[in-house]
Structure 1
């Protein structure tokens, strides 16, 4: 396996990038966001977790003299921050990101989820998984957009990827590694060490990956560095979304809590709904598991 990533240069996706994504399931765009934009996201992250953008169950009271770093160390992530933050909502539509998505997904693209990770010193990572296991689409178009708000390194818990797009959901097994917070994982032992690659990126970079592509992140082993990242999920608007939020919502053939970011919505006649609310991610994640 070639350990070289396929980089999107100057924010413009090439035919080679598109072919790489089709085969290997991911792309890296260095410096896609400007320093101003990453700083805007960094400040907004602190404001959200300080409770300045609205109440979220579980957010703790903050003393006005408490430093941002001390506040953020209490948490792992918040799901659906775009519901309460106009800044996060705005970044769902970032034109350089959308220009990639319409080339690897469809001219018609919808977003169904945002997640804001603040992995502080010592915090565990996410075990090996496929996003499509949690967010089912009908056409395998699910795409994660991982925006680095801080530099992401091996030391502070960057993404790891196994390039490729398996044609099925892989079996999950018990997790025995303290690198990960999850109770289960995908067994990646059949893969050789050169097939498992870190994706170290500078802040402002963006990683795109398909919903079937295996990925994980390890524990933040630094004593003073956060690994903040905004992760948004998109899919083709042509596909319906049979997603019940792991049982949190009534079963549905097409969840209409979406944001159209490009093109036309074939199901606009159904209208939209506001089903999901922002919530804090627990330290130990146990969903959709039979272990």
Structure 2
């Protein structure tokens, strides 16, 4: 289990400043072995759950999920409550304090798993582009469960200084692949090449994309996203995603 002592000093003043000025920072090998295996177990559960749903429906595709190729599963922590040990851990507390401040809510949780498939790339977008424009930027923690390379589908970031963008921008739907696209420039972005257990920490308004997995092994990523407020639907009638409160005035209030 990650302890207070083991994460003390993990996030430096330089990282905090880089998040403010560039929208991101990287934490290499930040997860404990226990947390890494916990999240990998959740990844396999998410694959098995979707495969079972495809079996029941007699299909090999459900939405953007394709058997043996790509899997997107959100709110798995509701099926596997042991994932709360990580989502509301000391490590995630320190990341939220460094980026959002003393109040934080779990906004979204999702596995993104790519197998060998040349068509598993994602276009340039902001995470906020998949919500709506009426919210404060939230936090994305892109957690590598395998060693990440450009060959197996790295995420590419466009820091603020390279994109010139620090706020929500309109996204254009791609009618072919159903992505929402927010950048059409020539900058290829900064590849995040990190070992398993590392975290790319970035704002929901940072432009990013990901490449396809061209290897013969899975590339498993866990997304944990937090907000400083309860993000509401466009009409303001209900919460957009999750609304589990994590931190209140800097203290953990979530049930473990």
SS of the equivalent of 1:127 reads: strand
TM-score calculated relative to the size of structure 1: 0.70
Deviation at 1:254, TM superposition (A): 5.0
Question: Which of 172, 190, 208 is the equivalent residue of 1:197?
Answer: 190
Report the equivalent of 1:91.
86
1:1-291 → structure 2 map (5 Å cutoff): 12-51=10-49, 58-60=53-55, 73=68, 75-122=70-117, 124-136=120-132, 140-164=136-160, 166-173=165-172, 175=174, 181-189=177-185, 191-193=186-188, 196-222=189-215, 224-236=216-228, 239-243=229-233, 251-253=235-237, 255=239, 257-264=242-249
Report the equivalent of 1:67.
none
SS of the equivalent of 1:82 reads: helix
Q: Identify if the C-alpha distance between structure 1 residues 39 and 167 changes in structure 2 by more than 3 Å, giving closer, same or farther.
A: closer
- Deviation string 1:41-71 (CA, Å, 9 cap, x unpaired) is 21232133323xxx9983436xxxxxxxxx9
How many residues end up aligned between the 2 structures? 231
User: In 2, Cα distance between the equivalents of 1:230 and 1:110?
Assistant: 17
Q: Identify if the C-alpha distance between structure 1 residues 188 and 83 changes in structure 2 by more than 3 Å, giving closer, same or farther.
A: same
TM-score calculated relative to the size of structure 2: 0.78
SS of the equivalent of 1:201 reads: coil
Report the equivalent of 1:4.
none
- Deviation string 1:129-169 (CA, Å, 9 cap, x unpaired) is 11112234755330101111111110000110000172433
Contact 2:129 2:170 in 1 (8 A): no
Which consecutive residues of structure 1, in runs of 5 or more, have no partner in the other structure? 1-8, 62-70, 245-250, 269-291
Contact 1:101 1:109 in 2 (8 A): yes
Which consecutive residues of structure 2, in runs of 5 or more, have no partner in the other structure? 1-6, 57-65
User: In 1, Cα distance between the equivalents of 2:90 and 2:67?
Assistant: 29
Contact 1:173 1:187 in 2 (8 A): no
User: In 1, Cα distance between the equivalents of 2:120 and 2:92?
Assistant: 28
User: In 1, Cα distance between the equivalents of 2:54 and 2:208?
Assistant: 29
Contact 1:105 1:141 in 2 (8 A): no
Contact 1:115 1:232 in 2 (8 A): yes
Q: Identify if the C-alpha distance between structure 1 residues 72 and 32 changes in structure 2 by more than 3 Å, giving closer, same or farther.
A: farther
SS of the equivalent of 2:77 reads: helix
Structure with higher strand content: 2
Report the equivalent of 1:247.
none
Q: Identify if the C-alpha distance between structure 1 residues 260 and 48 changes in structure 2 by more than 3 Å, giving closer, same or farther.
A: same
